[in-house]
Structure 1
Amino acid sequence: MSKKGRVLVAMSGGIDSSVAAVMLYEQGYEVVGITMKTWSYASSGGKKKETGCCSLDSINDARNIAVELGFPHIIVDIREEFGSHVINHFKSEYLAGRTPNPCVLCNTHIKWDALLQRANKLNCDYLATGHYAKVRQEGERYVISKGVDANKDQSYALWGVSQESLSRTILPLGGLTKKYIREFATERGFTDLVNKSESYEICFIPDNDYRGFLKRQVPGLEEAVKGGDFVLEDGTVVGHHEGYPFYTIGQRKGLNIALGYPVYVTEIQKETNRVVLGTFDELCRDGMYVHKLNLSKYPDLNGKKLDTITKIRYNDQGTPAVIEQVGDLMHVFFGSGVHAVTPGQAAVFYEEEDVIGGGWIVSAFKRQQL
């Protein structure tokens, strides 16, 4: 056995996770590759060819790397776990008038919790992924921080990973750039990986049509919710919509309504099947409430205020905000307001490069609502 230890590497078949496995192998770790079958797109009734980490091509790409370098590779079917944690949550959140973030949920409950269980069964000391982020030990805590490649940083998606999982996690790409990863793969002859297109869709919705997915997965939904009212902030009815689950906060396109000026979805009211529209200024919120917290850097912030940079979505640059934990709820106050704060999405709090922690957005408010 390697002196560095045995590491289970999650391999999706893409360039990032493949290079992570190769790097650890070259560094002297005993590598075991694992590819997870999370979803069969055919079961959702979609028309587009299955792509991404669940496809047969991706599984074969991961296996070929392992065969070439001579380390073991296994495939695990976790469709039942994925369905229970991710798919059901995805559907229930839209039906509740919120907009879910399945990738964050998958990282928390699938790519780490499920992987850690397999790592234990395979006698692996560590688990590794191809995420662009860093993890380090600081005192008794394990802290995630941003990857050096700002364009690829994935720390936002990892806020929910537990301390137990972080204590055994290796993130080989955190200190590297995408440019370097491509050069690394090219030098070793993995040109197919370099030329492979990257998928940015939700893995179980490769056609990027979440509305169609919901309609297929929830029989009778379309008929049950169609015909609700579009209303302005003052309650004035200005039209009718296709059903509240088919809209998201901040949406402008696809409303099929003309008022003579640009309008956006500012609120979704499930109870009355109303979708509230407003101007860009009316889309602005001064703060939000966040629950189901996981605070990795500072485990006890109850009753304390802290200056942070807070992100409300993956590609958000972040906004200065003061956070204050009150019981199980984080109160977040933005200094200059933020547009399109969306219940159901993840909020992640940063202190410089470090992830303090995160949670799920419950609701947003304007100052006059306090």
Structure 2
Amino acid sequence: MPRDSADQLNSLGFAKPPAETRVVVAMSGGVDSSVVAAQLAEEGYDVVGVTLQLYDHGAALAKKGACCAGRDIHDARRVAEAMGFPHYVLDYENVFRDAVIDEFADSYLAGATPVPCIRCNERVKFRDLLETAKDLEADCMATGHYIQRRMGPAGPELHRAADPARDQSYFLFSTTPEQLEYLRFPLGHLPDKAATRGLAAKYGLPVADKPDSQDICFVPQGNYASVIEKLRPGAAEPGEIVHADGRVLGAHEGVIHYTIGQRRGLGIGGLAEPLYVVRLDVEARQVIVGPKEMLATRTVPVREVNWLGDAPLTSKPEWHVAVKLRSTRPPREAILRPVSETEAEVELLTPEEGVSPGQACVVYETGSSSRVLGGGWIWHGR
């Protein structure tokens, strides 16, 4: 919508009163999305809360306090009742299993380190749920993600959150320009999580002191291997732990128990040098270990690139950018060289350790800019 003058637009960017603006809020039951819903309801918007049941919270995969488990659905409903707006629970178990959990299991079995939260945003929340919001005749959909949507000369742009410690841009790189037109992220400008909890207390929300979820929602205590074994019985086949120079150092109970860069828990003590997992050979059922310097990666091929820059990805032979290869690491300077509209090669100016297939490579503008230019999936490094 064109911005004729700031006073014509409400806080969500529409030229009409909040009461005439319907917004679907994706409510996980946590404090972040609850604050978004409460704030928009207090501002007078026509709020509709929607919570997704993503898996059977009575099954073995569930864990106490997990996102979208039974308690969280109850908490989201309580917030909606307290603030006086309608709330719906949608059964997305089959969609979630097909679009997220099955790929997570297969990627892990193939020796990758997948990030299912990104696929969930891409394939469930920002695709199917977004379409449901449109079916409900909502003007937009709001979430509790810590990221900013700003209007630029070419349309909406994606920017990192104001609080670097809470920024979730790594998990949202695959958001398309079309989705960005429809999405709103009301928390992205807040200085820290304390500000969010302060708003929750201000609105008297029952979840104001609820702790943050730490793990992937369907992975209890971060134990990926146990989940894979439930999803793919017999997947943990034993094999050898092999030094990069060819020496057999020991045995393992399944490649799925190891990740690139792992040092602890290898079961090969008594060696003079510390060794790290440098490669997983799934077909040979081998865990390849070596010295730390073997983890250093300079060239990172990426595919399934989602590009959010104003100019097409292939409009330049190379882009000087910053990239983030893991959610917990800061962006590093790099050169991005397009191979096609959906594939590229990233050259890190400073080699990085522990780059793993299955992780995301998220691209940012350099310097003081907070803009997210998109990203892709790492499929091997060298």
Q: Shared fold (TM-score greater than 0.5)?
A: yes
1:141, distance to aligned residue in structure 2 (A): 4.2
1:118, distance to aligned residue in structure 2 (A): 0.9
The answer to whether the aligner puts 1:85 opposite 2:99 as a matched pair is yes
Q: State the match for 2:46 in structure 1.
A: 30
Q: State the match for 2:317 in structure 1.
A: 304
Q: CA separation in 2, counterparts of 1:267 and 1:285?
A: 12
| 1:112–1:165 Cα contact (<8 Å) kept | yes
| 2:63–2:218 Cα contact (<8 Å) kept | no
Q: State the match for 1:295 in structure 2.
A: 307
Q: State the match for 2:268 in structure 1.
A: 257
Picking from 282, 294, 297, the partner of 2:294 is 282
Q: State the match for 2:194 in structure 1.
A: 179
Picking from 156, 180, 186, the partner of 1:142 is 156
Letter in 1 for 2:254: G
1:8, distance to aligned residue in structure 2 (A): 0.3
* 28 and 84 in structure 1: CA distance in 2 versus 1, 3 angstrom threshold: same
Letter in 1 for 2:48: V
Between 130-139 and 282-291, report the one with greater CA deviation. Answer: 130-139
1:183, distance to aligned residue in structure 2 (A): 1.2
Determine helix, strand or coil for the equivalent of 2:289: strand
Q: State the match for 1:94 in structure 2.
A: 108
| 2:361–2:377 Cα contact (<8 Å) kept | yes
Picking from 353, 357, 361, the partner of 2:370 is 353
Determine helix, strand or coil for the equivalent of 2:94: helix
1:4, distance to aligned residue in structure 2 (A): 5.4
Between 266-275 and 86-95, report the one with greater CA deviation. Answer: 266-275
CA RMSD of aligned residues (A): 1.6
Q: State the match for 2:332 in structure 1.
A: 319
Which residues of 2 match residues 159-174 of structure 1 at below 5 A? Answer: 159-174=173-188
Structure 2 portions without partners, runs of 5+: 1-16
Letter in 1 for 2:202: E
Picking from 56, 66, 73, the partner of 2:87 is 73
Letter in 1 for 2:259: T
| 1:141–1:296 Cα contact (<8 Å) kept | no
Q: CA separation in 2, counterparts of 1:84 and 1:91?
A: 11
The answer to whether the aligner puts 1:120 opposite 2:169 as a matched pair is no
Picking from 193, 197, 216, the partner of 1:202 is 216
1:208, distance to aligned residue in structure 2 (A): 2.1
Picking from 230, 235, 242, the partner of 1:231 is 242
1:308, distance to aligned residue in structure 2 (A): 1.3
1:316, distance to aligned residue in structure 2 (A): 1.1
| 1:44-100 per-position Cα deviation (integer Å, ceiling 9, x unaligned) | x35x74432222221111111111111111110001100001011101101111111
1:189, distance to aligned residue in structure 2 (A): 2.2
Q: CA separation in 2, counterparts of 1:281 and 1:31?
A: 53
Q: State the match for 1:368 in structure 2.
A: none
Q: State the match for 2:68 in structure 1.
A: 54
How many pairs were matched up? Answer: 359
The answer to whether the aligner puts 1:245 opposite 2:256 as a matched pair is yes
Letter in 2 for 1:230: I
1:300, distance to aligned residue in structure 2 (A): 1.8
Picking from 8, 13, 30, the partner of 2:29 is 13
The answer to whether the aligner puts 1:342 opposite 2:356 as a matched pair is yes
The answer to whether the aligner puts 1:364 opposite 2:381 as a matched pair is yes
| 1:53–1:203 Cα contact (<8 Å) kept | yes
| 1:171-219 per-position Cα deviation (integer Å, ceiling 9, x unaligned) | 00010021211111122222x4232111111101123211111111112
Determine helix, strand or coil for the equivalent of 2:217: coil
| 2:63–2:219 Cα contact (<8 Å) kept | no
| 1:147–1:174 Cα contact (<8 Å) kept | yes
| 1:142–1:296 Cα contact (<8 Å) kept | no
Q: CA separation in 2, counterparts of 1:4 and 1:280?
A: 59
Q: State the match for 2:3 in structure 1.
A: none
Between 124-133 and 250-259, report the one with greater CA deviation. Answer: 250-259
Q: State the match for 1:266 in structure 2.
A: 278
1:170, distance to aligned residue in structure 2 (A): 0.8
| 1:302-336 per-position Cα deviation (integer Å, ceiling 9, x unaligned) | 25211111101111112111111112321000111
Letter in 1 for 2:276: Y
Q: CA separation in 1, counterparts of 2:297 and 2:221?
A: 32
Q: CA separation in 2, counterparts of 1:315 and 1:306?
A: 23
1:268, distance to aligned residue in structure 2 (A): 1.0
| 2:38–2:203 Cα contact (<8 Å) kept | no
Q: CA separation in 2, counterparts of 1:261 and 1:111?
A: 46
Structure 1 portions without partners, runs of 5+: 366-370
What is the TM-score when the length of structure 1 is the normalising length? Answer: 0.93
Which residues of 2 match residues 184-195 of structure 1 at below 5 A? Answer: 184-190=199-205, 192-195=206-209
Q: CA separation in 2, counterparts of 1:337 and 1:230?
A: 26
1:246, distance to aligned residue in structure 2 (A): 2.1
| 2:57–2:70 Cα contact (<8 Å) kept | no
Q: CA separation in 2, counterparts of 1:256 and 1:318?
A: 33
Determine helix, strand or coil for the equivalent of 1:143: strand
| 1:41–1:205 Cα contact (<8 Å) kept | no
Using the aligned pairs only, state the percent identity.
37
What is the TM-score when the length of structure 2 is the normalising length? Answer: 0.90
